[in-house]
Structure 1
Amino acid sequence: MYPCRVVRKRLLALFRRNTFLRRLLYVCTLICFSGYTIFHLYFGPGYMVYVHKNIQASCIIPEVNPYDKEIMKFFWKPDPIVCSKDSDLVYFDFNSTLHLNKSRTRSSSISCQYQEVVRKTNDDFNVELGPEVWFNSSVVIRTDFVNVKCFIGGKMVYSRLHYQVYRPPESKRRNPKKKYSVLIFGMDSVSRLAAIRELPKTMSYLEKNLGAYVFKGYTKLGDNTLPNLAPLITGHYAFSKEFPVVEHTKFDNHPFIWHNVSRLGGATMFLEDWPRISTFNLGTSGGGGFLKPPTNHYMRPFYLAINHMQMFESPVSDVLQFLEDKNVKLSSTSYLCYGEKSLHVIAIDYFKRFLLAYKDDLKFTLVWNNKLSHNYVNFIKLADDDLLDLMTFLKTEGFLDNSFLLFLSDHGSRVDKIRNTPIGRLEERLPLISLVVPQQLKGAYPNLHENLKTNINRLTSPFDAYETIVDILNENFKSQEVAVPYPRGISLFRPIPNDRSCADAGIDEHNCVCYSSDSVDVKSPVVVKLAEYVTANII
């Protein structure tokens, strides 16, 4: 018998000499990690199902401590996102011009080419590259996305995708009636309580500096993104006759609210940063996508191009993100990066560019960040400084003078052990939603502030957010009483009734988290025992 240390040394020597065995070990390790990661995310642990017994009862909003010890054990701080330290060799300014970054190269012999990233005709899943166009000085680009390659002495030294928001110079002004814009910025899987814990700087700035209203009773309507996003932007239930979802059928004909903005002459933008699980392309949501680009500016082709050129969508990528969440790094740069920027910063930057390109115009934006927060709750905190910077930008650049901002989510964490705890069950069903209102409107319509302040503690849902957006576009800010029987969707500008129930709001038994009260006989044995116990333990 050989001693263990001898066997270990011989095996190590064998692996060093044999390239095939090293590769086989590497592949097997990745397969094992991939299987474990997929099981960890989607199949384990078992999910407990809770059902509310009386959704007809008047709702009492649960008061929950965001720092409850039952929850805090699931949270830690991952290492900061580290992206490439090499700055881009080329860059876009804000006038549709692509420049060489002279601080990166002093070579006079450098030559570059760009190719437009083109969405294939009637295809929401594939892109292609246009003809190669060579340049060695600044050049005007008349499209949003390009792939750039640069060469020195025939050797490629740079290859990267770049983006801008191209507005044709001949395009007309898009706000003839001075209407208010709607800016929706979403983070997937973020509860209100998680936002308090994980985004303290952003939430503090929203409430203290922007006067945001953060609604404590905002409740999800379905499990994943589509059942919660569809009511928000169409006013209809997903997977119903109102909003049918048919496998591989396109979503173009649904009454999205951005069509209302287009009819008013406004500019529209839609961005989701993870193509594989995009709301309208995911297989469990029908997977049909859109026949035509749904909005004037649509960033999906850019992210598809990234995934065609890198391994972002391979099973290996899930493993890398899983390990990164545990602060185990297999690379000097983060999987959450593309080039010198993190993916959520790219989304923020494109959002800013759209706002600047249409600064004085009527606008609608829907930005949805999946990559950072969908699978791992602890990555959210890594965006706090960047989101604070965004909120500061919106204020200092004056965009909130004529725009309503909705900073929100679809639901809380769904893929962790968190939701099997009593607090986690509530968090999953109570996503973040905050609303920032132009300051001058509060003075012109005092009822607006009073009603919004009251509604912070009332039961609300995505149907109410939709009705609010409709009121914004129709400039319907005057106080109105809510009709009886209560409609399913009530604008947040109206005083939402205190006795509203989950049934009134269209929230089913599975998602209703309201507390309710019942009359009981004070002489019943159970009540007597409870009273005796409480009085005996009062200090």
Structure 2
Amino acid sequence: MSYQTVLSEQIRIDCVLFIMKVIGAFIVAFVPGSHPVSVKEPYQAVKIIADNNTDNRFTINSEGCTIPYVDLNEISIRNLINSAAISPSSCPSYKHSLLAENGTHITTVTEHFKLFKIVNESNLKCCYRSFYRASFGASKNTFTRIKFSKCRLFQSTTKVNDEFVKVNCYYNGKEIYKRLFLFTPKKPFTTARKEPFTSERSMYNIIIMGLGSMSRHNFYRTMYKTWNFMKQYEAVELKGYNTVAADSFQNLIAVLLGLNKLQLHNICSPGQPGTLDNCPFIWERFKDVGYYTAFAEDSGKFGVFNKENLDFKDNPTDYYIHPFVKQFETFMKNRQKPQKHNKYQDSVAVTSCIGDKHNFQVLLDYIDSLVTTLDQSKLFGLFWETTMSHDNLNYPLQMDDAYALIIKKLKLSGYLNNTILILMSDHGINSGGIQFTKQGQLEVRLPLLYILIPKLFRNEFKLAYQNLLMNQQRLTTPYDVHTTLIDLLGLSDLSDEEIRRRSTEPYSHNRGISLFLPIPGNRTCQMAEIDQEWCSCHKLVKFPISNALIKSASRYLTQRLNEKIKLYPQCMGLAVAKVIEVHEIIPVYERNVEWRDFQVRVSTAPGGGNFEAVLRHHKGWTLVDDIKRMDDTYKHSCTRDDYVNGYCYCG
């Protein structure tokens, strides 16, 4: 599908959405009891998302791991989440740029000559210089390793053959303009294999889009449109996806190498400390089977590998824009400085611009351009965003439209028909006021992970896909993502027959388990090699039913039960006759004690019904989702409402 077709389809969809909004406004205005859902109020809209669970009282609730449900608008963080929060600074406008590019050529914009006081075009000279990052040599500093080609002068237009280009323009010998450009030329395919790769079957592109420091919950709160498209396209959400470390580096190493930090240094750095070139990155394996590879981040200064003072001697992938981003960060010098903040205020995000666009938009444009360039070739690409989501809960609101649009374009163009798209994060936000709340302590351990599988794959590898769906409610880790990527290298291990065979093998204590195999329901953090400090699982600890706190809980539960039947006079009022058992749901990590959760099971009178609920105590009681009926004591129907019949006793 052409870009023009995609654009026409985009306009058609936008028109339909506009009409739906008008109709919705009419309904809200004239239909009693109707309630609007505003895109500008994402925190209200996503309440529906959080409730779409098999057991809404928990995020996951397996034999080996229980993770409690948390409200996206939990009271302790309401002052921190705000759709009208301060926005990042805008980027300088290139509306009146002296230069423009169309993907193949750079040209001067003659209609803007007056703005630059250019009277005689023959006195305008522009210098085109490509640049690249050299190997280490005498310097390990990325910036000083940048090497430029000789100047190629042009006056009105010049053809582009390079990835990274710097252009300086001079009028009457004086510099009046300078700009950097990023391109995606088709490169010759090279491989270290002695024999050319031949494939017996078609393979799937692998596109990984990363959002740094983005928890599942903050993704719901701030990127509703993106979430909506992922749901519409039937992406699989791994709700029990648990971080394995405090920083991006260690979590990404688990995804890309399947290693922890200690193993990384033992395997990668014995001969060349400070470099990662000897590491067995997963993209090398995809390269070996015929894929182009790409690794792109929207920040150089705050890149994944910068914190560990590590670097690559040579470019690690076929397409690698780190040298360009680093060059631009120094070239433009327009990074915002963090503002002072107290512990209950978020810091200003690490935002910056590349020219007239925010860094994340340049990253998304790069994806768009690269998949077009490599349309007939296979691509493994990791594209990691940091600048908007890393330090601020609310800034990701600014990215929502852009991420929703790129995913929609990939879908409408047909690219996703042959692509497995992974949208993920490393951990939740660990700065600003939220880190001092119990909610934040849970969110930091639960990053987002969505996997969008093409229909062709689902139909061919049905059992593998069914297991992926089942694993939505299981404890999973970045190590599992790595093992899953290995399965996607050749696909031979994903046939139904192979999945059945592999499922009988003893793999439950493996650190990494493919998400196409059944993750054991009894899997614990210890089995998955998640340190207790980062384990989001909670344990159920028996709590004395005679405690005064439970007496007040019983009164609250009685009140909520009777609220469900108050409109039905044939239903008799209920009271808690006996507290059967109580468990406090306690995290295994050291936590803030703002609230306490209790799983309470009671029997009621009259009728002897058994009910279970998760109650949260924080300056009073609240009900975590619904009250669950645990038996079928009430044999007859008292009302026409099956839901109410679960609570109604009519004698």
Say yes or no: TM over 0.5.
Answer: yes
The aligned residue for residue 250 of structure 1 is: 275
Q: Are 1:369 and 2:391 an aligned pair? A: no
Tell me how far apart the structure 1 counterparts of residues 476 and 269 of structure 2 sit (CA, whole Å).
25
Q: Is the 8 A contact 1:61 1:459 kept in 2?
A: no
- In structure 2, give the amino acid aligned to 1:202: T
Instruction: Quickly say closer, same or farther: Cα 1:527–1:484, change in 2 above 3 A.
Output: farther
The aligned residue for residue 387 of structure 1 is: 403
The aligned residue for residue 273 of structure 1 is: 298
Q: Is the 8 A contact 1:321 1:335 kept in 2?
A: no
Instruction: Quickly say closer, same or farther: Cα 1:488–1:174, change in 2 above 3 A.
Output: same
Alignment of 1:189-208 (within 5 A): 189-208=213-232
The aligned residue for residue 5 of structure 2 is: none
Q: Is the 8 A contact 2:334 2:352 kept in 1?
A: no
- In structure 2, give the amino acid aligned to 1:310: M
Q: Is the 8 A contact 1:117 1:128 kept in 2?
A: yes
The aligned residue for residue 287 of structure 2 is: 262
Alignment of 1:438-453 (within 5 A): 438-453=454-469
Pick one of 258, 283, 291 that aligns with 1:235.
Answer: 258
Instruction: Quickly say closer, same or farther: Cα 1:412–1:328, change in 2 above 3 A.
Output: closer
Pick one of 283, 291, 315 that aligns with 1:293.
Answer: 315
Alignment of 1:171-190 (within 5 A): 176=199, 177-190=201-214
Give the secondary structure class of the aligned counterpart of 1:318: coil
Q: Is the 8 A contact 2:88 2:395 kept in 1?
A: no
Q: Is the 8 A contact 1:78 1:327 kept in 2?
A: no
Q: Is the 8 A contact 1:419 1:427 kept in 2?
A: no
Instruction: Quickly say closer, same or farther: Cα 1:103–1:495, change in 2 above 3 A.
Output: farther
Pick one of 219, 223, 231 that aligns with 2:246.
Answer: 223
Q: Is the 8 A contact 2:88 2:351 kept in 1?
A: no
Q: Are 1:61 and 2:85 an aligned pair? A: no
Instruction: Quickly say closer, same or farther: Cα 1:336–1:175, change in 2 above 3 A.
Output: farther
Instruction: Quickly say closer, same or farther: Cα 1:252–1:152, change in 2 above 3 A.
Output: same
Q: Is the 8 A contact 1:124 1:290 kept in 2?
A: no
The aligned residue for residue 72 of structure 1 is: 78
The aligned residue for residue 82 of structure 1 is: 90
Q: TM-score scaled by structure 1?
A: 0.79
Q: Is the 8 A contact 2:100 2:108 kept in 1?
A: yes
Output one character per residue of 1:128-182: Cα deviation in whole Å (capped at 9) or x when no partner.
3322111123322222001112233334332111010121479899985521111
Q: TM-score scaled by structure 2?
A: 0.66
Q: Is the 8 A contact 1:144 1:164 kept in 2?
A: yes
Alignment of 1:492-511 (within 5 A): 492-511=515-534
Task: Report which stretch shifted further, 346-355 or 190-199.
Answer: 346-355
Q: Please, which runs of 5 or more residues in structure 1 have no aligned partner?
A: 1-55
The structural deviation recorded for 1:103 is: 4.9
Task: Report which stretch shifted further, 472-481 or 350-359.
Answer: 472-481
The structural deviation recorded for 1:80 is: 6.2
Tell me how far apart the structure 2 counterparts of residues 373 and 207 of structure 1 sit (CA, whole Å).
21
Q: Is the 8 A contact 1:175 1:362 kept in 2?
A: no
The aligned residue for residue 151 of structure 1 is: 170
Tell me how far apart the structure 2 counterparts of residues 81 and 388 of structure 1 sit (CA, whole Å).
22
Task: Report which stretch shifted further, 369-378 or 252-261.
Answer: 369-378
Give the secondary structure class of the aligned counterpart of 2:515: coil
**Larger relative contact order (CA 8 Å, sep ≥ 6):** 1
Give the secondary structure class of the aligned counterpart of 1:218: coil
Q: Are 1:462 and 2:478 an aligned pair? A: yes
The aligned residue for residue 19 of structure 1 is: none
The aligned residue for residue 92 of structure 1 is: 101
Alignment of 1:347-426 (within 5 A): 347-426=363-442
The aligned residue for residue 429 of structure 1 is: 445
Output one character per residue of 1:165-218: Cα deviation in whole Å (capped at 9) or x when no partner.
12147989998552111111111100010000010111111111x211111110
The aligned residue for residue 52 of structure 1 is: none
Q: Are 1:118 and 2:132 an aligned pair? A: yes
Give the secondary structure class of the aligned counterpart of 2:420: strand
Instruction: Quickly say closer, same or farther: Cα 1:468–1:482, change in 2 above 3 A.
Output: farther
Instruction: Quickly say closer, same or farther: Cα 1:533–1:256, change in 2 above 3 A.
Output: same
Q: Is the 8 A contact 1:274 1:371 kept in 2?
A: yes
Query: Percent identity over the alignment?
Result: 26
Larger Rg: 2
Tell me how far apart the structure 1 counterparts of residues 109 and 412 of structure 2 sit (CA, whole Å).
28
Q: Please, which runs of 5 or more residues in structure 2 have no aligned partner?
A: 1-61, 560-651
Task: Report which stretch shifted further, 191-200 or 96-105.
Answer: 96-105
Tell me how far apart the structure 2 counterparts of residues 351 and 451 of structure 1 sit (CA, whole Å).
30
Tell me how far apart the structure 1 counterparts of residues 379 and 447 of structure 2 sit (CA, whole Å).
25
- In structure 2, give the amino acid aligned to 1:145: F
Tell me how far apart the structure 2 counterparts of residues 328 and 274 of structure 1 sit (CA, whole Å).
18
The aligned residue for residue 590 of structure 2 is: none
Tell me how far apart the structure 2 counterparts of residues 511 and 337 of structure 1 sit (CA, whole Å).
33
Q: Is the 8 A contact 1:61 1:457 kept in 2?
A: no
Tell me how far apart the structure 2 counterparts of residues 171 and 531 of structure 1 sit (CA, whole Å).
68
Q: Is the 8 A contact 1:238 1:245 kept in 2?
A: no
- In structure 2, give the amino acid aligned to 1:72: R
Tell me how far apart the structure 1 counterparts of residues 340 and 235 of structure 2 sit (CA, whole Å).
33
Q: Is the 8 A contact 2:298 2:385 kept in 1?
A: yes
Give the secondary structure class of the aligned counterpart of 1:510: helix
The aligned residue for residue 360 of structure 2 is: 344
Tell me how far apart the structure 1 counterparts of residues 451 and 400 of structure 2 sit (CA, whole Å).
18
Tell me how far apart the structure 1 counterparts of residues 354 and 341 of structure 2 sit (CA, whole Å).
18
Tell me how far apart the structure 2 counterparts of residues 230 and 198 of structure 1 sit (CA, whole Å).
27
- In structure 2, give the amino acid aligned to 1:354: L
- In structure 1, give the amino acid aligned to 2:468: L
Tell me how far apart the structure 2 counterparts of residues 265 and 225 of structure 1 sit (CA, whole Å).
28
Tell me how far apart the structure 1 counterparts of residues 111 and 401 of structure 2 sit (CA, whole Å).
27
Tell me how far apart the structure 2 counterparts of residues 70 and 175 of structure 1 sit (CA, whole Å).
57
The structural deviation recorded for 1:353 is: 1.4
Give the secondary structure class of the aligned counterpart of 2:473: coil
Give the secondary structure class of the aligned counterpart of 1:113: strand
Q: Is the 8 A contact 1:192 1:430 kept in 2?
A: yes
Pick one of 555, 566, 586 that aligns with 1:536.
Answer: 555
Instruction: Quickly say closer, same or farther: Cα 1:213–1:101, change in 2 above 3 A.
Output: farther
Pick one of 159, 176, 180 that aligns with 1:161.
Answer: 180
Q: Is the 8 A contact 2:238 2:471 kept in 1?
A: yes
Q: Is the 8 A contact 1:62 1:513 kept in 2?
A: no
The structural deviation recorded for 1:342 is: 1.3
The structural deviation recorded for 1:327 is: 12
Tell me how far apart the structure 2 counterparts of residues 428 and 294 of structure 1 sit (CA, whole Å).
29
Tell me how far apart the structure 2 counterparts of residues 85 and 120 of structure 1 sit (CA, whole Å).
32
- In structure 2, give the amino acid aligned to 1:147: K
CA RMSD of aligned residues (A): 3.0
Instruction: Quickly say closer, same or farther: Cα 1:178–1:98, change in 2 above 3 A.
Output: farther
- In structure 2, give the amino acid aligned to 1:234: L
The structural deviation recorded for 1:75 is: 1.9
Return the structure number with greater strand share.
2
- In structure 1, give the amino acid aligned to 2:515: L
Tell me how far apart the structure 2 counterparts of residues 171 and 255 of structure 1 sit (CA, whole Å).
18
Q: Is the 8 A contact 2:80 2:434 kept in 1?
A: yes
Tell me how far apart the structure 1 counterparts of residues 326 and 287 of structure 2 sit (CA, whole Å).
25
Tell me how far apart the structure 2 counterparts of residues 528 and 443 of structure 1 sit (CA, whole Å).
55
Tell me how far apart the structure 2 counterparts of residues 398 and 448 of structure 1 sit (CA, whole Å).
23
Q: Is the 8 A contact 1:113 1:148 kept in 2?
A: yes
Instruction: Quickly say closer, same or farther: Cα 1:447–1:499, change in 2 above 3 A.
Output: same
